[in-house]
A and B are shown apart, each in its own frame.
Chain A
Amino acid sequence: MDRAAVEAFLYREARLLDDGRFEDWLALFADDGLYWIPALPGQTDCFGAASIVHEDRTVLRMRVRRLGHPRAWSLTPQPRCSHLLGNIDVAPAADGEIEAVASLQVAIYRDGDRTRYDGRQTVRLRPDGGDFEIALKRIDLIDCDGVQCVMPVPI
């Protein structure tokens, strides 16, 4: 397991989001990949409890298509985003996958306002040729069950 390669992948993924390259970001997900932001601390149930986001690739593709639309009002003007990953742990997981856990800070600036998201990011990576694909990207926000404002872009 190449830790440096895993970290490089995580940084590349974060940079695509920072740069608003959402189509390229979506392409990192496996066909059965999931993007999950729970709405409860330590949430284990994605069917019996609501999530801030729980999307497979099909819905995520609709989300990304929407982001490119000129009249997506919560994206006008386009948000600017900065991801910071730290405390990265990399460990082997079941089925030959790799689990990378990191502390995550995301700042979003849009139309005069800044929003901060803080939490823990858990990414399950599946080796794919010399690269990886995302089987799961999960973000546990420290205030996942608190009062939230609109989250305009994937974080």
Chain B
Amino acid sequence: MPLASNSSAQPAPGAAEIAALVEPTRVHRRAYTDRAIFDLEMERIFGRAWIFVAHASQIPQPNDLVRTRLGLHDVLATRDPEGLVHVVLNRCTHRGTTLCSVERANAASLVCPYHAWTFGLDGTLRSVPHRKSMPASFDMADPRLSLFRAPRVADYRGFIFASLAGDGPALEDFLGDMTDVLDNFIDRAPNGEVTQEGGAFRLEYRGNWKLHHENANDTMHPGFVHESSVNAAREDGRDYAEPVYDEHQAHVQMLSNGFSVREWQSLGLQGLANGHSYMDGFYTKGILSPDRDDPISRGYRDALEAARGREAAAGILAMDRFNNLVWPNLNINAQYQQIRVVQPVAPDRTIVRAMCFRLGGAPEGMFHRAVRFLTNLSSPASMIFADDAEIFEKVQAGLSDGRREWLDQSRGIDEAVGNGRIASAGTSELPIRGQYRAWLDHMTAAP
């Protein structure tokens, strides 16, 4: 049973009303501004679809737990003593107290700070104080006294997803061909293990959660939005033949947004079922390119070849896909060991959680690069993402005015249509249209 939406009392918009918000070439501004639509998104998208909640390396041992979000819900991803992973609501069933106030912990049980009601890591109620004062009808085994538990939790090779729907497509069916990039993420580790390390950022912007996804595979914005950082990098005339740990990567990350329209157009763009999409990589220079050949990259390639063989290693390193979007809340850059998790807060508020990973068996320098990549692209002070977030806020501010009601999403529509794997030229708005097809599927499904 889905958790009830926790906000307005407005009647939910009907299927016909929702369907009227999305046309092939445009979408109505209400999809970004209307509280009732947002509430329905939390119920029918974040309350039903597979939502990425954590990585297994965040809870490697029995009794480990990590605090995370499932839609608007404050939840704990836990590993019970048998090794099973659960996702439980971080709320005591007695008086509603928040149980856990730290990001990560190892604990044999969850003890409420108010009256010490105690729960197992699977959410079951274990004990209450002064048991004899409870009435005869108080049944410890009553499931209503257990922590609310997401009915479905599944992981794809360590990437843990939860669904608040009791039934629906299996995780692998939902992921479809996006399993390729998750496989590649893991296969890049010479020992086959990736671990989330190096810290994380939580960046809040005052805009709708969908804006982040719509921007991820949009190649017509970097030349304008990121002009200031492209320009700053271009003015920097240094020769980076000998990569320095830091300057080189920052330089390439900023410079690469300066592609010409022709170059962006030549990139491949893939739209998949369920709103997923990805584009070809465009960090084609220096230590971020697939054929990088600096000392750290050589050491890494040697380690991967030793583990997998030359041919397999070459195949793994050749995959160069950027901003792999697992709609509705995960964005992956496997080749740089990065993920972003998009957390809706309100129609006009979103938190982006960004983190990086260590490739097991790779030289330490590779991890340092992943950390540096995270800082450069996803820090609150990022010279690149700061301008994206600013644009999201400007869009949201503009959409508050209802005099013009529609947003255009027609770019490249003559090139490809359909709902499935579609390849397109790099400048198409195909991914946005695909996201809205998935959005409509969820939002107009029977309650």
Contact = CB atoms under 8 A, between A and B. Distances in A.
A65 interface: yes
Contacts of A66: 228-229, 231-232, 383
A8 interface: no
Contacts of A55: 246, 250
A62 B232 contact: yes
Contacts of A49: 198-199, 371
Contacts of A150: 203, 205, 380-381, 385-386, 389-390
Nearest to B389: A150
Contacts of B379: 39, 50-53
Contact of A63 (B244, B375, B383, B389): B383
A48 B203 CA distance: 20
A151 B371 CA distance: 19
Interface stretch (A70-78, A93-101, A127-135): A70-78
Nearest to A147: B202
Contacts of A53: 375, 379, 381
A148 interface: yes
A14 B17 CA distance: 55
In terms of DSSP, what is the predominant structure of the interface of chain B? helix
Interface residues of A, number: 34
B232 A69 contact: yes
Contact of B387 (A58, A62, A73): A73
Contacts of B375: 50-54
Given A50-B375, A51-B375, A62 B233 contact: yes
Given A39-B199, A148-B201, A62 B224 contact: no
In terms of DSSP, what is the predominant structure of the interface of chain A? mixed
Given A59-B247, A149-B380, A65 B232 contact: yes
A48 B351 contact: no
Given A50-B371, A51-B379, A62 B250 contact: yes
Contacts of B231: 65-66, 69
A151 B202 contact: no
Given A61-B236, A66-B229, A52 B380 contact: yes
A39 B371 CA distance: 12
Interface in A18-68: 37, 39-40, 47-56, 58-59, 61-63, 65-66
Contacts of A59: 246-247, 250
Nearest to A39: B199
Nearest to A37: B381
Contacts of A149: 203-205, 380, 389
Interface centre among A63, A72, A152 (most CB of B within 10 A): A72
A71 B201 contact: no
Given A39-B201, A50-B199, 12 more contacts: A48-B197, A48-B371, A49-B371, A53-B381, A58-B244, A62-B233, A71-B227, A72-B228, A73-B391, A74-B389, A149-B205, A150-B389
